[in-house]
Chain A
Amino acid sequence: MSGAEFGGVDIDLLADYIGGALAGTPDETAVATRIAEDPDWRTAYESLTGGIDLVSAELGRLGPEPMPDELAASLDAMFRNPPPAMTVIDGGDTTPRVPARRARRRLRWAAPIAVAAGLVAFVGFGVDYLAGRDSRSQDTATSAAAGSAESAASPQILSTGTNYTQATLGGAAAQTLTAPDLNAPAAPKDRSGASASVPLGRLDPGQGLQACLDAIQRANAGGMISVQSVDYAKFDGSPALIVRFTAANGAWAWASGPECGTPGSGPATLGKVPVR
């Protein structure tokens, strides 16, 4: 900080002294000595002390700031009434095939995922699937919250390359939706084709995709969304992520651009239509 305003006094150092940040250090004594002996420092000290007191008083008067009702309600709904836990089913066999201890670890992990939102469970699933992790040790997850083999349809990760338009967005994906074979050898990005869609590369399953889905959820304003499929495709000729989901306000097909989920871009919506 410049000390030009007070005859070259180091205002940062003086502020540290006033704020107690120099307590017990050699600088504390040095600053105290300068305040006692140097009129410029003494003047600056008196002025800054008064100014800081005023600032502190004003800050203390800003008062409480309750969370807006709509945000509070949204959070309440998000955490209190989660959708049914989403479970990855391997060929319809709902019996956990992992050791009990492993299963418990999985359950402890799976519970918050499931409770957070269907989309979160989807991302967890998607990451495992596309990242090519050894799925045989975790191919069956059950909901700890439900305590049973509660299941739901597995969300799909597709890379159809279909060029959707506003008119076709609400239709079924051009590619047959098939459940991934979680026991298949890993070649995840080849299978998904997600990383091959370079403009959409940042939306590969993981943080990027999750941020995008979060942005869509917020923009949709229908509470939590439960994702049925994600298709790395196009919309009106431009690279687009096609997300099909349901929420309290119905079923939707949503086309988002590559910037989806980045600050300032929100869901980067290219198109959206209700699916009836």
Chain B
Amino acid sequence: MRSADAPSDAELLRAHVDGDREAFAELVRRHRDRLWAVALRTIGDREEAADAVQDALLSAHRNAARFRGDSAVTTWLHRIVVNACLDRIRRRQAHPTVPLPDGSRTDDRPAGVEPAAPASDHDTALVVREALAKLPPDQRAAIVLVDVQGYAVAEAAEILGVAEGTIKSRCARGRARMALTLGYLRESPPPGGNPEAPGSVSSEPASATPLPGAQDRRDRG
């Protein structure tokens, strides 16, 4: 029985397990925007993100009785959605497909992935999204949760099932990789020259060298 106030997430989940047909739908309505944003930015493609969210929520729906309450319901939902996204990314990488002649995307690169930002920010937002999409999936997921969605490191660690130090490392390395990709690293000022302003795009070719993912240091736990 629901109280006069809005039921908590945990109460909704319990009600669902006990047979309340409205409860899970309400739970989804509460969190769907954030779940969608996490999925879209982790997987980088709207169609894939929609599939991942649907699959994940169906899984949560079926397995709600197994939820032990060790974490917040929203953390649990995010974990299922992120894992669904990462599973899809890994399957895609394991079974690469040939691009379709009509231009439909089938690889791991986003294509027209997100709606346009306001015109003045459009170009910047686009290249930032592209740089984000080029990150290794683990770094991308951590950055999406912490830097884009604003989750605390501790909560992101719980969602991804890793140590907080690992989240910090994945975020830090991902940001560094993006900074390189975006040309945000400036070289040391040349003696007697005109130092570039912080954050300006360096003209030095070396600063835009892609980072070799295979040489990543093992994440710290």
Contacts and interface: CB of A to CB of B under 8 A. Distances in A.
Interface of A: 1-2, 4-5, 10-16, 18-22, 25, 43, 47-48, 50-56, 58-68, 71-72, 74-76, 78-80, 82, 107-109, 111-113, 115-117, 120, 144-145, 147, 214, 218, 262-264
Given A19-B175, A21-B166, 10 more contacts: A16-B220, A19-B169, A51-B199, A52-B175, A54-B184, A61-B125, A68-B50, A76-B25, A145-B21, A263-B91
Contacts of A144: 18-19
Contacts of B177: 1
Contact of A51 (B32, B165, B179): B179
Given A5-B207, A263-B95, A108 B179 contact: no
B169 A21 contact: yes
A79 B168 contact: no
Contacts of B212: 1-2
Contacts of B33: 64-67
Interface string B10-49: 0000001111111011001100110111001100001010
A226 to B, nearest CB: 15
A71 B175 contact: no
Interface string B203-214: 000110101100
Nearest to B197: A50
B53 to A, nearest CB: 7
Nearest to A3: B215
A10 B177 CA distance: 13
Interface residues of B, number: 80
A75 B57 contact: yes
A60 B148 contact: yes
A47 B186 contact: yes
Contacts of A80: 21-22, 25
Nearest to A70: B50
Contacts of B182: 51, 54-55, 58
B179 A79 contact: no
A15 to B, nearest CB: 4
Contact of B24 (A22, A72, A79, A263): A79
Contact of B61 (A43, A79, A263): A79
B86 interface: no
B168 A112 contact: no
A54 B58 CA distance: 38
Nearest to B208: A5
Contact of B198 (A50, A58, A113, A117): A50
B121 to A, nearest CB: 7
Contacts of B97: 263-264
A130 B110 CA distance: 39
Nearest to B144: A59
